[in-house]
């Protein structure tokens, strides 16, 4: 019995080693724990029941595997399927841009081989591991996960996982898998709607700030222009980079964030890039070029103290260089300053500059500093909210928060708050309503 178990486990290890395209799944924590568990079980089956240290080894290994799978929110079989859907490998990469019947035959055959292997391994998870441990006499610790949380997934991903669950030959789903790669991409792009660039690589944002269109009060003209530009972008037409300029707290950032909620089902993704990381923009553009989705690079509070590598990198993305610009990428930036490069009076040319020949064409230099904002095709201006818009925003937020006050009382408090704090703006309105809600709940 032990020898039979050992041979069965060894067979699974051989199958894992035979993966041709999907080896990258083995680098995941749950897979690493699975491999260690198989090794520990095989070692115990080889030595027999007399080796207590071997028993402790597989018990620890099972606990680590169980914890790793529990953290994913999947059972073992669904986890294996999810890894197939997100795997970034030569087959998934080429399937994004090339129809299945035009891919190299050897690549398709390798993908079918790996699907057969992974399907076999998906069936040798919870039940089989429990049976194996139970046969070793450790029944009390052999719990298993049987339910997955699929409600958190996109409709396309959830639908394909259910199809994998329902078939006993995963190779039959290769055309649908290739179609999924073509529309949803691979890796991080299948799991997240928003990303940030941090420490030289993209990271998915698990809980993005989803702003709904109904939360945007005022600035209708600016909103319509931004949405129209984004609609053109998603429809495959020429669209423009956008600079949202104006007073602080007027909702510039919220308006950009609202695009993610409005258009994520049409493949729009937001990538937030900090000012200090703008030098990496050409690298980011090349990464995003390969993905099937449309991307808006979001730069908040944009400005420069002087011309720098960050400034030059932004110019390259806005205007291009010898390499063709990605057609799935736009830059939407917000700023409190119309001219993004800080300008000093000393920068302006004078007769002394010309006489002393400090610079031959000083006016050209100043114009270059002032022209960066002109490289955005659209500039949307957000002026300070007047009292009517400010109070309209306050009433909307108060209603959403469930606050029940008389209009006159609410108006009086809101105007007092604006006078004592940061003036009349959408941000001030949100701060006022947050404070008022907490104050009322504490007193009640």
CATH class of 213-382: alpha beta
pLDDT tens per residue, range 276-331: 888 888 899 888 988 888 999 999 888 766 555 666 777 777 776 545 678 899 99
* Strand, helix or coil for residue 421: coil
pLDDT at 411 over 60: yes
pLDDT digits (tens, 9 = 90+) for 187-242: 888 878 899 999 889 998 888 888 877 778 878 889 999 999 999 999 989 899 99
Q: Are 294 and 268 in contact (CB under 8 A)?
A: yes
Residue ranges per structural domain of the chain? 2-186, 213-382, 387-443
Task: List, in order, residues 6 or more apart from 338 with CB less than 8 Å away.
Answer: 245, 373, 379
What is the per-residue pLDDT for 40?
86
What is the rounded CA–CA span in Å between residue 239 and residue 202? Answer: 24
Give the residue from 113, 88, 108 showing the smallest Cα distance to 98. 108
* CB-count exposure of residue 137 (10 Å: 0-12, 13-18, 19+): exposed
Phi, psi of 97 (to 5 degrees): -120, -10
Distance of CA 194 to the CA centre of its chain: 3
Question: CA 303 to CA 75: how far, in whole Å?
Answer: 48
Q: What is the pLDDT of residues 4-31, one digit of tens each?
A: 677 888 888 999 999 999 999 999 999 9
Model pTM score: 0.73
Tokens of 339: 């001219």
Using the predicted structure, report yes or no on whether residue 374 has a pLDDT greater than 80: no
Q: Which of 4-13, 38-47, 108-117, 397-406 has the highest average model confidence (pLDDT)?
A: 108-117
59-96 CB burial, b ≥16 within 10 A, e <16? bebbebbbebbeebbbbbbbbbbbbbbbbbbebbbbbb
pLDDT value at position 304?
64
Q: What is the pLDDT of residue 51?
A: 63
Residue carrying structure tokens 């486990």: 9
Query: Cβ distance 385 to 218 under 8 Å?
Result: yes
């Amino acid at each position: 019995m032990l020898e039979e178990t050992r041979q069965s486990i060894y067979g699974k290890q051989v199958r894992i080693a035979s993966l041709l395209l999907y080896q990258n799944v083995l680098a995941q924590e749950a897979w690493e724990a699975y491999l260690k568990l198989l090794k520990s079980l095989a070692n115990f089956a080889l030595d027999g029941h007399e080796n207590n240290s071997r028993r402790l080894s597989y018990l620890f290994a099972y606990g680590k595997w169980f914890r790793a799978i529990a953290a994913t929110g999947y059972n073992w079989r669904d986890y294996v399927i999810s890894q197939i859907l997100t795997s970034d490998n030569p087959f998934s990469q080429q399937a994004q841009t090339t129809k299945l019947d035009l891919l190299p035959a050897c690549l398709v055959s390798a993908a079918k081989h790996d699907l057969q292997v992974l399907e076999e391994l998906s069936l040798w998870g919870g039940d089989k591991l429990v049976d194996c441990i139970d046969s070793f006499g450790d029944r009390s610790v052999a719990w298993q996960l049987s339910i997955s949380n699929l409600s958190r997934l996109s409709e396309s991903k959830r639908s394909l996982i259910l199809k994998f669950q329902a078939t006993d030959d995963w190779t039959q789903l290769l055309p649908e898998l290739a179609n999924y790669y073509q529309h949803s991409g691979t890796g991080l792009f299948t799991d997240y709607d928003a990303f940030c660039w941090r420490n030289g690589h993209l990271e998915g944002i698990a809980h993005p700030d989803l702003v709904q269109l109904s939360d945007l009060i005022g600035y209708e003209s600016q909103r319509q222009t931004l949405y129209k530009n984004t609609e053109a972008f998603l429809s495959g037409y020429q669209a423009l980079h956008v600079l949202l300029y104006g007073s602080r707290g007027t909702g510039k950032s919220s308006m950009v964030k609202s695009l993610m909620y409005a258009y994520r089902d049409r493949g729009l993704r937001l990538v937030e890039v900090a000012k200090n990381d703008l030098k990496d923009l050409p690298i980011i553009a090349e990464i995003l070029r390969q993905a099937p989705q449309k991307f808006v690079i979001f730069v908040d509070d944009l400005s420069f103290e002087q011309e720098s590598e960050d400034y030059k990198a932004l110019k390259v993305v806005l205007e291009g260089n010898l390499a063709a610009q990605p057609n799935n990428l736009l830059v939407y930036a917000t700023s409190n300053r119309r001219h993004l490069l800080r300008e000093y009076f000393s920068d302006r040319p004078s007769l002394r500059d010309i006489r002393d020949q400090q610079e031959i064409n000083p006016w050209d230099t100043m114009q270059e500093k002032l022209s960066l904002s002109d490289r955005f095709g659209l500039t949307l201006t957000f002026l300070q909210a007047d009292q009517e818009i400010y109070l309209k925003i306050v009433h909307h937020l108060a209603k959403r928060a469930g606050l029940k006050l008389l209009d006159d009382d609410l108006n009086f408090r809101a105007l007092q708050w604006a006078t004592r704090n940061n003036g009349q703006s959408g941000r001030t309105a949100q701060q006022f309503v947050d404070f008022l809600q907490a104050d009322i709940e504490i007193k009640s």
